[in-house]
Structure 1
Amino acid sequence: MNDPKSRKDKFLNNLGTKTRYSLSQDSLKVFNLSENRWDAYKLKSLKADSLIIEFKGVPNIFIKRHFNLDTIPDYDAVVVASTPCFGICPIFEIIVTKEGKVSYHGEEYLKNEGHYTSHISKSEFKNIMTRFKQANYMNLKKEYFTMVTDCATVYTTFIKNGKVVQSISDYAASSPPEFVYAYNSLFNLEQKMEVSAREVPDYLYNDEIYYASLKGRKNVHLTTSETFYIINSLVEGKETNKTFKEEYTITYSNKLLENIKTDGRYYKIYLKDGTTKTIDVGRNLLEGSNFCELE
């Protein structure tokens, strides 16, 4: 963690999920990356699918899970967004596609704050997808919640063929541990990538948080990850003079923006100075999408 005098400048340093270990007779030693030391545990039992160790007189049991991933569908992109908490929870939005393209916005408590793009390998994307498939992401509930205060909410959205196929809200890490493990792998991805600054128009930046209201034939409060998917599509879209039926209205907090009218594919941006511009994102993002639809 950097300068302790400035709360705003703090961020958690990602040390990864792998480390060295040593196994001998009845002892297991694990190298503690954060303390730069070896931690010793008494080995009680070691089998092909289970491990029991003892630490300070308390047994810890680990069971190896087996997953059947063949029945769980792949996705084309995943979006993860984390909101503020009472502390230094990272506040960010990130989208990673199967081609390895990364679009990222870091708001606070991160190494890289601002708008960036980057790239990961297809094998890295496959590892991320495997974690979510191990969590059986398509069969999870829309919302997980625990009655505690001051925790962050993590929103995760999965995209297939341009549509939202699943979207999940998780407050205070209340979802199954496999799912928490999966989305945590994207929390500090920005620390491991070479990032390039990205130009995002001021009118597409949310003054508070990427959370929008979608009104029309279907009224939806879009989650942070869902909103970021649409905003990211607008940033990557092409300006056009196309006229279209304005079926939906999107609004969010921005001092320059009045609202956005859309049919799902074309988005006409109404600015408060009276000007407009229309963006073609190349596909209908709204029709057939399975939004989280939180109250």
Structure 2
Amino acid sequence: MKMIMSLVLLTAVMMGCKTAKNTTQSPPTSGVQQLTIKATPCYGTCPVFEMTVRSDKSANYLAQRHNNGQQGLYRAVIDGRNYEQLIALLMATDFPNLKEEYTVGATDLPSMDLEITYEGSKVKKIHDYGARGTDELKALYDFVKTLRETQQWQRME
């Protein structure tokens, strides 16, 4: 009798596992139309800029302060290898499942603000005070900062 009850209980548990709903969204495998990242000021020499990269690899870069001598509006086409790496880093963040806000318990730090448009009209916005939300986000931020120096930016102003 104990054996039958154990099997019934095990079957009920297994069926419950099969019907459990996944509450997280699956990350998109493609379909990112645009990524905009804004770096906000701190009380030191943190770079302040905004960069938008679109799916056709065209990009705008507004350098405001502390950008290695760059200031003003620039345009470029991100080279293929760097674009693929940018999208891979973005996908590694699992951005649909990230929180909308991250913060650290310190003052005078810059923020990174992300806006990702994907799969038609979906938009994910993330505000990251201190730029330390997740390890994957930090890697994305670092890569975007390198794009300021590695692409063929043409000044527009």
- TM exceeding 0.5: yes
Deviation at 1:175, TM superposition (A): 0.6
TM-score, length basis structure 2: 0.76
Deviation at 1:162, TM superposition (A): 6.3
Q: Which residue of 1 aligns with 2:81?
A: 123
Q: Is the 8 Å Cα contact of residues 114 and 125 (structure 2) preserved in structure 1?
A: yes
Q: Is the 8 Å Cα contact of residues 157 and 164 (structure 1) preserved in structure 2?
A: no
Query: What is the aligned-residue identity percentage?
Result: 24
Q: Is the 8 Å Cα contact of residues 151 and 172 (structure 1) preserved in structure 2?
A: yes
Structure in which a larger fraction of residues adopt strand: 1
Q: Is the 8 Å Cα contact of residues 156 and 183 (structure 1) preserved in structure 2?
A: no
Equivalent of 2:61, from 90, 97, 104? 104
How many residues in Structure 1 have an aligned counterpart in Structure 2?
Answer: 129
Q: Is the 8 Å Cα contact of residues 99 and 126 (structure 2) preserved in structure 1?
A: yes
Equivalent runs, 1:1-295 vs 2, <5 Å: 71-73=26-28, 74=30, 75-111=32-68, 112-160=70-118, 163=121, 165-199=123-157
AA aligned to 1:149 is T
- In 2, distance between residues paired with 1:163 and 1:92? 25
Structure in which a larger fraction of residues adopt helix: 2
- In 2, distance between residues paired with 1:108 and 1:173? 17
Query: Which shows bigger deviation, 184-193 or 138-147?
Result: 184-193
SS in 2 for 1:185: helix
- In 1, distance between residues paired with 2:75 and 2:61? 6
Q: Provide, for residues 154-185 of structure 1, a one-character-per-residue CA deviation record: whole Å limited to 9, x for no partner.
A: 00110126645201000112311111111221
SS in 2 for 1:187: helix
- In 2, distance between residues paired with 1:154 and 1:126? 21
AA aligned to 2:53 is V
TM-score, length basis structure 1: 0.42
AA aligned to 2:27 is I
- In 2, distance between residues paired with 1:104 and 1:91? 11
Q: Is the 8 Å Cα contact of residues 99 and 122 (structure 1) preserved in structure 2?
A: no
Change (3 A) 1:164 1:94: farther
- In 2, distance between residues paired with 1:162 and 1:98? 12
- In 2, distance between residues paired with 1:182 and 1:155? 12
Q: Which residue of 1 aligns with 2:20?
A: none
AA aligned to 1:196 is Q
Higher RCO (CA-CA < 8 Å; seq separation 6+): 2
Q: Is the 8 Å Cα contact of residues 98 and 122 (structure 1) preserved in structure 2?
A: no
Deviation at 1:135, TM superposition (A): 1.4
- In 2, distance between residues paired with 1:87 and 1:151? 9
Deviation at 1:122, TM superposition (A): 3.1
Instruction: Extract structure 1 runs of 4+ deviating beyond 6 A.
Output: none
- In 2, distance between residues paired with 1:106 and 1:164? 27
- In 2, distance between residues paired with 1:139 and 1:166? 9
Q: Provide, for residues 180-216 of structure 1, a one-character-per-residue CA deviation record: whole Å limited to 9, x for no partner.
A: 11122112312111211225xxxxxxxxxxxxxxxxx
Q: Is the 8 Å Cα contact of residues 79 and 151 (structure 2) preserved in structure 1?
A: no
Structure 2: unaligned runs, 5 residues or longer: 1-25
Q: CA RMSD in A?
A: 1.6
AA aligned to 2:43 is F
